[in-house]
Amino acid sequence: MADLSLGIDIGGTFTDIVIYDPGAGRHHIWKEPTTPGDPAEGVIAGTKRLLATGTVAAKDIARVVHATTLFTNALIERKGARTGLITTAGFRDVLEIGRERKFELYDIFIEMPEPLVPRSLRREVAERLDQNGALEVPLDETALMDEVEDLVERGVVSIAIVFLHSYANPAHEHAAARAVAARYPDVSLTTSAEVAPEIREFERTSTTVVNAFVKPLAETYLDSLVERIQGLEIDGPFSLMLSNGGLTHLDEAKRRPVQLLESGPAAGALAGAFFGSASGETEVLAFDMGGTTAKISLIDGGEPSIAYSFEAARTKRFAEGSGLPIMISTIELIEVGAGGGSIARVDELGLLKVGPESSGAEPGPACYAKGGDAPTVTDADLLLGYLNADYFLGGAMAIDRTAAEAAMGPLMATTGLDLTEVAWGIHDVVNETMAAAARVQITQRGKDPRDYAMLATGGAGPVHAYNVARKLNLRTLVCPPAAGVGSVIGLLMAPARIDRVGSMVSRLDGLDWDAFEALYKALEDDARAVLKGTAAELDRLQVRRLADMRYVGQDSEVVVGLGPGPFTRASNETLVEAFEEIYRQLFTRTRPGVPIQVVNLRVSLSAPVKGGGMEMARSADGGEAALKGRRAICFGDPHRFVDTAVYDRYEVAPGEVIEGPAVFEEKESTLIVGPGARCRVQADSTLIVTLPADGD
C-alpha cells in the first residue's frame, strides 16, 4: 500500500489538486474550475477525476492537506457570520477609534475601514482587571447574559469576547464564555485570550472579531469538506495550511480560522524557498500568479520572512492603515489584484487599467466561453501567442480565440488601438503593476532587486515572469516542474508548525526571571499539545524562542530570536546582546544608557510530517521529441511577432540548454522565454533561465 498525499488549494479561478507518491517521486495533477457557490464541490469533482484515471486509489491516500482563500474572500466581501462583540464597559467603540491615524493624512474625504461589527451589535459589560491582571471590578454575569440574549434575538450567531487586560489574566473572558456556552450552545464563541493574548486593545479586538466573523463559515465548510472527502473512501488525517507556512489539524483550524487567512499564498512561498534552494538560489523573489491575484514574497537566506501582524481587506491596496489589523504569524508577502482573470478597462483619464476586478471562475475570461465578455489578461495572453488554445489544461478545456477577440472590441473602439496593441497594452500594464508591487516589497527591506532570482509559479506566473523579471532588471528566472500548482507543492512539503504568544511587559533590569521562563514553558506546552494532533514527527521537533523588545519609551518593538533557554538572571546579557544586534541591523545604531523592555514572548514549534517533502522523478530523454512545433509570439513590439520554438516541458531532458525565444508547455502552465535568454534544464526538470542584460 502506497502512502499517497492529497493536496488541495482553492483559488479564485481554479482549484488545484495534486496526488503525490513520495515513494516513486511522481505527482498526478488536476485543475478544476473553482465553484464559488460551494467550493467543496470543485474539490470533490477534481479529486474524482484524478481517481477515475485509475493511476491512484483512494485507499492509498494516507493524508490530505488543504489551503484555501475562502476565509480571506469572506472577509474582503463582508460575507461572514452576523457577529456581536462583548467588551469591557467604556470600550465599545475601540474598533472605530483605532489608532486615530489616517492612512492618507491630507485626504478630507477619506473612508476608514468599516468595522465588521456595527455599533448596535457591540455591547459593554461591567468588569475590570488592571494591567497586571489583578481584579478591580468583578464580572457582572447577569448584565452579560442580558446583553447576549438581546444579541441572539437580533440574529447574532457568533460572539467575540474581548475584555481589558485579558492577556494578563483571562479569567473574566473564560467565565463569560462558559456562561454564554451553557445557555446558548449553538452560538459560536471567540475569546481574545485564545486567538490574540497580546497587549494593544485595538489590534487584539480586531483580530478576535475577524476570527468570530469567519468561524461559523470555517466550521460548516471544513466539516462538510471532510465528510465529502471521506465519502470518496479517503480516510487519511486532514491537515490545513496556516499563514505562517505550517500545518495544523482540523480542530485547531476550526477554533482559530483567523490563522488561515494567508494559507494559500504561504504555501506558494514555501515552494519558492524549496525550489530556489534546490537551484542554488537562496535570495529569491517568489512570484505566484493565478487567475485572480498575484502573490510576491521574498526569500532571504533560503527562508521566507515571518511577520507577526498584517492587514487584511485593505480599502487602498498598498496603504498601511487602510485594512483590518490582524495579530497572527504570517509569511510576509504582497498580494496584488492581478491575475489571468483581471479585467481591463479605460479609466476617466483615458488610461488603460487592469484589475483588481476579476472575472473569477464564473464567468471567467471571455476565451473560456462560459459567458464572460470582458477583456482579461488571459484573453490578451492568448492573442499574443503565449497560450496554446489546443493545449489549455493539457487540452481538457476548450479555448475560444474568437471570443477573446470580440472582448477586445470596446477597448479598441475607445482607445483607437488595433487588436494586438490592446492585447500588448493589457499584458504590459499588468506586468508593471506586479513589478511595482515587487519593488515596494524589496525596497521596504532595504534590498536591491538585482540581488534576487525570480521563481515563478501559478497558472499565469510562468507566462508573465520573463517580462516582469526584465522590468526589475533581474538576471535569473527559475521555473520548477508543476509550476502551475506550485502552492499545492508547497503544501505537500510543509512541516507542522504552531506559533504561540503571550504578553509580559517588563524592563529587563526588573524582570521576574522565574515567571519569564514559566511563560515560555507554558506557551511551548500549549503548542506541543496541538502538534500532537497532527502527523508531526515529534522526535524531530524544533523549538524557537523569540521576544518582542524595545527601548523604554518607544511605541513599537522588534522581534528578537533568542536561544533555546532555560532563561535565568544570568541570561540578561545574552538578551541585551541579541536585542542590540537586531536593532543595529534595522537602525544602524543602538541607544546607550536607555533601559530595554520586554513586551511579548513568542514560541514557534515545528516538525516534519510523515509523507512530507518532495522529490520529482524524471524520465524524459529529450532530443527531437521535446520540440512540439513553432508559433508566432509577440515579445514587445505589437506589430512584430517572432517565430518561436515550442517545447514539451515533459520531454526536455536534464542538461539541455535551449536558446530563447522559446515556449515550454505543460498541462498547468506555460513558460515564456524571450529573445536573448538562455534556458538550462536541471536534473529535477527545473528550468533555469538566464536573462539578457539591459541593452542585449
The pLDDT of 268-273, averaged and rounded, is 88
pLDDT for 624 equals: 61
pLDDT band at 211 (very low <50, low <70, confident <90, very high): very high
Q: Is residue 613 part of a domain?
A: no
Residue 528 domain flag: yes
pLDDT score, position 637? 80
Q: Is 616 part of a structural domain of the chain?
A: no
Residue 278: pLDDT band with limits 50, 70, 90? confident
- Please give the backbone phi and psi of residue 87, each rounded to the nearest 5 degrees, phi first: -140, 175
Q: Is 205 found in the same domain as 99? A: yes
Instruction: Provide the pLDDT for residue 658.
Output: 94
Q: Give the residue numbers spanning the domain of 164.
A: 79-211
* pLDDT confidence of residue 501: 96
Confidence of residue 356 (pLDDT cuts 50, 70, 90): confident
| First-to-final CA distance of the chain | 54
Confidence check: pLDDT of 695 > 60: no
Mean model confidence pLDDT for the chain: 90
CATH code for the domain of 535: 3.30.1490
| CA 135/CA 138 separation, integer angstroms | 7
Q: In this structure, which amino acid lies at residue 11?
A: G
Q: Is the pLDDT of residue 1 over 50?
A: no
- pLDDT tens digits for 402-421? 999 999 999 999 999 999 99
Tell me what pLDDT residue 618 has: 53
Mean pLDDT of 239-257: 94
Cell 480542530 identifies what position? 251
| 180 shares a domain with 90 | yes
Count: domains in the chain: 6
> Does residue 696 carry a pLDDT above 70?
no
Of 33, 563, 511, nearest to 290 (Cα)? Answer: 33
Q: Does position 294 have pLDDT exceeding 70, yes or no?
A: yes
Distances (CA, A) of 131 to 136, 171, 193, 503, 599: 10, 14, 14, 11, 13
Higher pLDDT, 473 or 100: 473
Q: Is the pLDDT of residue 128 over 80?
A: yes
CATH of the domain at 280: 3.30.420
Question: What pLDDT digit, counting tens, does each position of 480-491 carry?
Answer: 988 888 888 888
How large is the average pLDDT for residues 527-533?
A: 92
The number of angstroms, rounded, from the C-alpha of 132 to the middle of its chain's C-alpha atoms is: 35
pLDDT > 90 in the chain, percent: 62
- 360 lies in the same domain as 442: no
pLDDT tens for 220-233 read 999 999 999 999 99
Cβ contact 458:483 at 8 Å: yes
pLDDT interval class at 264 (50, 70, 90): confident
Q: Is 418 part of any domain?
A: yes
Residue 601 has pLDDT above 90, yes or no: yes
Determine the longest span between alpha carbons in the chain, in angstroms. 81
**pLDDT tens string 457-476:** 988 999 999 999 999 999 99
Predicted confidence at residue 339, as pLDDT, reads: 86
pLDDT band per the 50, 70, 90 thresholds, residue 694: low
The answer to the question of residue 186 being in a domain is yes
Asked which of 208-212, 232-236, 547-551, 600-604 is least confident by mean pLDDT, the reply is 232-236
Residues 16 and 162 in one domain: no
Q: Let me know if residue 536 belongs to a domain.
A: yes
557 shares its domain with 596: yes
pTM assigned to the model: 0.88
Q: Do residues 98 and 234 share a domain?
A: no
Residues 110 and 15 in one domain: no
- The DSSP-derived string for 90-119 is T-TTHHHHTTS--SSTT-TT--PPPPSS-G
Could you read off the pLDDT of 135-177 as tens digits, one per residue? 999 999 999 999 999 999 999 999 999 999 999 999 999 999 9
pLDDT confidence bin for 442, thresholds 50/70/90 = confident
Burial of 657 (0-12, 13-18, 19+ CB in 10 A): exposed
Residue 265 C-beta-side C-alpha neighbours within 13 Å: 28
142: exposed, middle or buried (Cβ count in 10 Å: 0-12, 13-18, 19+): exposed
* Residues 591 and 633 placed together within one structural domain of the fold: no
Of the pLDDT bands very low, low, confident and very high (cuts 50, 70, 90), residue 634 is: very high
Residue 536 forms beta bridges with which residues? 609
Whether the per-residue pLDDT at 383 is higher than 50: the answer is yes
